[in-house]
């Protein structure tokens, strides 16, 4: 389809894309702007569209002191909690699922397919569905208000297991056989061949799972009560109180901006690997 | 070095597929054995049992004087070259060759020395730091060979190692494999379905069909005296012609009334019995003057440069004749002269070489 397009015809796609970007970017811009004004300015209901002068002060207070009137927790602690939770969930999910996929694909053991189907079926049972029994178990194990309670129930992952299984099935059998002849046992084959080949897949999954962990809301809300166990997503919610007068909006905005940064950083830093993991099959 | 001895080896896959049904043969130390046969005849299965990649359902496999049925592949002192090369994609050429040695705990200096020597022999020195992805098919093939030779194994196993290469490269690598095997003197088992590869490479040629061995021998033996119609049709290119005939007496067969003399008497065959008369295209000659025993109607001609193939019909069935390029006759009805010593007879009932035993 080679056609001479008019100026308008060439501009139109860009206009549509720009409109899309604006819709996505405007709220983010508002949050950034909001975090640079004094509390009173926003509380007045006059949200300015230009940056104010309070940025340094607001971010300092947000990170190290916390909103004076509501939660009083510095956001740096929440950031750390969220970061730890997202990391543990992402790394844990990848570790567990790559091992289970390895077992399901490369070993013959009794009830292998049964195990596979059981993993598969849990796809239908996300946290929200099994939240009561899961809460009960975690509570009985005494893991409320702990990092373990926050992350363990979220680590098992059928999706990641399935993805690794699909990938392993595309690895030629001859590689396993060549490894056997080269004297590499199951562990060596996993470490020397399968892991390096899965690198890009792991990177792609890591990005997705880190963001999944970072964005968790319902589960941390249930499981954490202590302020120092709070994640940043919960923290934002708690900063907003019904009475507008008490809400320090500039700090809420700053927290929102801070909450966006780590996922963005992860995506940006891992983008090259991430894209390769999605498109490339390096064999 | 070591010989390889198979005794009544069988393989039944899960689900009851009998891929190999009792195969016995013996590959002498240092010789080159080629397994050849049509697709699905069980060649790969047999080779993989020798490698230890497939369990052995029955019989024994010996390497040297050691029964290896229950020994791990890495302990069998073998090296294998796969059809798709099976190089580790994430490792450099150097690491691909060194990997097996490292796993065995060979000292670093020795690994380095062996890898560099193999690279030199195989002409892949400039690529040692590259990934397999950045190599051509022929270069990958060499690296796969290199991976095999650095291990200094007792036995080389090849499963159709050349079938992913283009025709020219295939011929070149074939010669190289043969030269290398001669130089190293390593006992080799080589699977192919290419009969030219089979003829040119082998000291010992094993023709398989349906999980069984049809015939074992040197390439010349199999070409000159095929034991079955199957072997006769498989070995030799273009393939042998088979014409329906009848025994007239010990010294003569007839094809649709045309009498053909036999070099060796057809002992033990009753006059009137049906036989298949096998005639190789290259053994047939166009008759000069009155010497024709058979005639053919030429239908079309294939030009091969040095020779020419005349395809057509004759009494008893379709026939192909190979004539030198200088031959001017290539159409119409042509008389054929047949050397009695080069007539093969097969029993149509079981396909065995008939009558002319001994
Ligand atoms: N894993 C398996 N399970 C069941 N049957 C199998 C298996 N592998 C091979 N077979 C069957 O065993 C028979 C022999 O297979 P094999 O791979 O040895 O053939 P081959 O002679 O190497 O053929 P090709 O020239 O096509 O490679 C075939 O009928 C095949 O379908
Ligand atoms: Mg095969």
Low-confidence ranges of chain B (pLDDT < 50): 357-358
Per-residue confidence (pLDDT) for residue B358, from 0 to 100 = 40
Domain ranges of chain A: 7-65, 75-279
Per-residue confidence (pLDDT) for residue A63, from 0 to 100 = 84
The answer to whether B14 contacts chain A (CB < 8 Å) is no
Write the class of the CATH domain B238-346.
Answer: mainly beta
Per-residue confidence (pLDDT) for residue A176, from 0 to 100 = 95
Ligand 2 center to B142 CA (angstroms): 20
What secondary structure letter does DSSP report for B261? Answer: E
Q: Is the CB of B241 under 6 A from ligand 1?
A: no
Given an 8 Å threshold on Cβ–Cβ distance, is B86 in contact with A172?
Answer: yes
Q: Exposure of A169 by Cβ count < 10 A (0-12 exposed, 13-18 middle, 19+ buried)?
A: exposed
H helix or E strand, kind and range, residue A6: none
Cα–Cα distance for residue pair A208/A267, rounded to 1 Å: 9
What secondary structure letter does DSSP report for A273? Answer: H
Q: Residues of CATH 2.40.50.140 domain(s) within chain B?
A: 238-346
Portion 148-187 of A in contact with B at CB < 8 A: 172, 174-175, 177-178, 180-184
The answer to whether B149 contacts chain A (CB < 8 Å) is no
Per-residue confidence (pLDDT) for residue A249, from 0 to 100 = 83
The ipTM (two decimal places) reads: 0.86
Per-residue confidence (pLDDT) for residue A69, from 0 to 100 = 63
Chain B contact set for A182 (CB, 8 A): 74, 99-100, 103, 147
Is-contact A32 A257, C-beta < 8 A?
A: yes
Per-residue confidence (pLDDT) for residue B357, from 0 to 100 = 47
Q: How many CB contacts within 8 angstroms connect chain A with chain B? A: 59
Q: What is the CATH number of domain B4-228?
A: 3.40.50.300
Ligand 2 center to A198 CA (angstroms): 28
Given an 8 Å threshold on Cβ–Cβ distance, is B103 in contact with A197?
Answer: no
Cα–Cα distance for residue pair B20/A259, rounded to 1 Å: 65
Both tokens of A125, joined, read: 């049972």
Per-residue confidence (pLDDT) for residue A280, from 0 to 100 = 57
CA distance A54 to chain B (A): 52
Cα–Cα distance for residue pair B42/B48, rounded to 1 Å: 10
Q: Is the CB of B97 under 6 A from ligand 1?
A: no
Long-range contacts (CB closer than 8 Å, 24 or more residues apart) made by A126-132: A127/A153, A127/A154, A127/A218, A127/A219, A128/A218, A131/A218, A131/A219, A131/A222
Q: How far, in Å, are B34, B50, B68, B76, B158 from residue B64 at the CA level?
A: 18, 12, 9, 10, 19
- pLDDT by position in tens, chain A (length 283): 556 678 888 899 999 999 999 999 999 998 898 888 887 777 777 778 888 888 888 888 888 887 766 667 788 889 999 999 999 999 999 999 999 999 999 998 899 989 889 888 888 888 788 889 999 999 999 988 999 999 998 898 888 999 999 999 999 999 999 999 999 999 999 999 999 999 888 988 999 999 999 999 999 998 888 888 889 998 888 888 766 666 788 888 899 999 999 999 999 988 887 777 666 554 4
Topology, domain A75-279:
MetI-like fold (1.10.3720)
Task: Characterize B152-163 residue by residue with b for buried, 16 or more Cβ atoms within 10 angstroms of its Cβ, and e for exposed.
Answer: ebbbbbbbbbbe
Both tokens of A219, joined, read: 């589960």
Cα–Cα distance for residue pair B174/B171, rounded to 1 Å: 5
Q: Residues of CATH 3.40.50.300 domain(s) within chain B?
A: 4-228
Per-residue confidence (pLDDT) for residue B277, from 0 to 100 = 94
How long is chain A? 283
Is-contact A203 A271, C-beta < 8 A?
A: no
Cα–Cα distance for residue pair B228/B242, rounded to 1 Å: 12
Q: Is the CB of B355 under 6 A from ligand 1?
A: no
Q: Is the CB of B243 under 6 A from ligand 1?
A: no
């Amino acid at each position: 389809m080679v056609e001479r397009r008019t100026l308008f015809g060439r501009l139109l796609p860009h206009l549509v894309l720009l409109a899309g970007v604006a819709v996505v970017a405007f709220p983010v811009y508002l949050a950034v702007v909001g975090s640079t004004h004094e509390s009173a300015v926003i509380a007045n209901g006059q949200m300015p569209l230009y940056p104010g002068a309070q940025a340094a002060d607001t971010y300092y207070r947000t990170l190290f002191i916390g909103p004076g009137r509501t939660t009083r927790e510095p956001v740096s602690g929440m950031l750390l909690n969220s970061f730890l939770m997202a990391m543990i969930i992402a790394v844990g999910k990848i570790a567990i699922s790559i091992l289970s996929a390895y077992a399901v694909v490369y070993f013959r053991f009794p009830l292998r397919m049964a195990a596979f189907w059981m993993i598969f079926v849990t796809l239908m049972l996300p946290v929200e569905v099994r939240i009561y029994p899961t809460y009960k178990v975690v509570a009985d194990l005494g893991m409320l208000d702990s990092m373990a309670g926050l992350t363990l129930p979220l680590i098992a992952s059928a999706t990641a297991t399935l993805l690794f299984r699909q990938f392993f099935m595309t690895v030629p059998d001859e590689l396993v056989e060549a490894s056997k002849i080269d004297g590499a046992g199951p562990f060596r084959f996993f470490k020397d061949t399968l892991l390096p080949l899965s690198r890009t897949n792991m990177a792609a999954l890591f990005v997705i799972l880190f963001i999944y962990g970072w964005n968790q809301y319902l589960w941390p809300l249930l499981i954490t009560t202590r302020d120092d166990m709070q994640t940043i997503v919960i923290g934002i919610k708690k900063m907003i109180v019904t009475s507008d007068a008490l809400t320090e909006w500039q700090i809420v905005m700053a927290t929102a901006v801070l909450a966006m940064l780590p996922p963005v950083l992860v995506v940006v830093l891992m983008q090259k690997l991430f894209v390769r993991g999605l498109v490339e099959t390096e064999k | 070095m070591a010989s390889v001895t198979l005794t009544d080896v069988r393989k039944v896959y899960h689900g009851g597929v009998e891929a190999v049904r009792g195969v016995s043969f013996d590959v002498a130390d240092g010789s080159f054995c080629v397994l050849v046969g049509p697709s699905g005849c069980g060649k790969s299965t047999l080779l993989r049992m020798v490698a230890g990649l497939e369990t052995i359902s029955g019989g024994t496999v010996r390497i040297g004087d050691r029964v290896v049925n229950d020994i791990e592949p890495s302990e069998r002192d073998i090296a294998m070259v796969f059809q798709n090369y099976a190089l580790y994609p994430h490792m450099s050429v150097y690491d691909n060759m060194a990997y097996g040695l490292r796993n065995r705990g060979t000292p670093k200096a020795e690994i380095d020395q062996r890898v560099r020597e193999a690279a030199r022999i195989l002409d892949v020195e400039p690529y040692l730091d590259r990934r397999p992805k950045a190599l051509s098919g022929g270069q990958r093939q060499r690296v796969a060979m290199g991976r095999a030779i650095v291990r200094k194994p007792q036995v080389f196993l090849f499963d159709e190692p050349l079938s992913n290469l283009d025709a020219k490269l295939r011929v070149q690598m074939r010669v190289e494999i043969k030269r290398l095997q001669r130089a190293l003197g390593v006992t080799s088992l080589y699977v192919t379905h290419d009969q030219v590869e089979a003829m040119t490479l082998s000291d010992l040629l094993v023709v398989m069909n349906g999980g069984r061995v049809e015939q074992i021998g040197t390439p010349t033996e199999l070409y000159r005296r095929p034991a079955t119609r199957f072997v006769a049709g498989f070995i030799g290119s273009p393939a042998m012609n088979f014409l329906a005939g009848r025994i007239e007496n010990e010294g003569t067969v007839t094809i649709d009334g045309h009498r053909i003399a036999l070099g060796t008497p057809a002992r033990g065959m009753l006059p009137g019995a049906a036989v298949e008369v096998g005639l190789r295209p290259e053994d047939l000659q166009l008759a000069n003057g009155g010497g024709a025993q058979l005639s053919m109607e030429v239908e079309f001609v294939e030009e091969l440069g040095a020779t020419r193939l005349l395809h057509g019909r004759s009494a008893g069935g379709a026939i192909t004749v190979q004539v030198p390029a200088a031959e001017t006759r290539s159409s119409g009805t042509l008389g054929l002269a047949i050397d009695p010593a080069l007539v093969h007879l097969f029993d149509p009932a079981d396909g065995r070489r008939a009558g002319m035993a001994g």
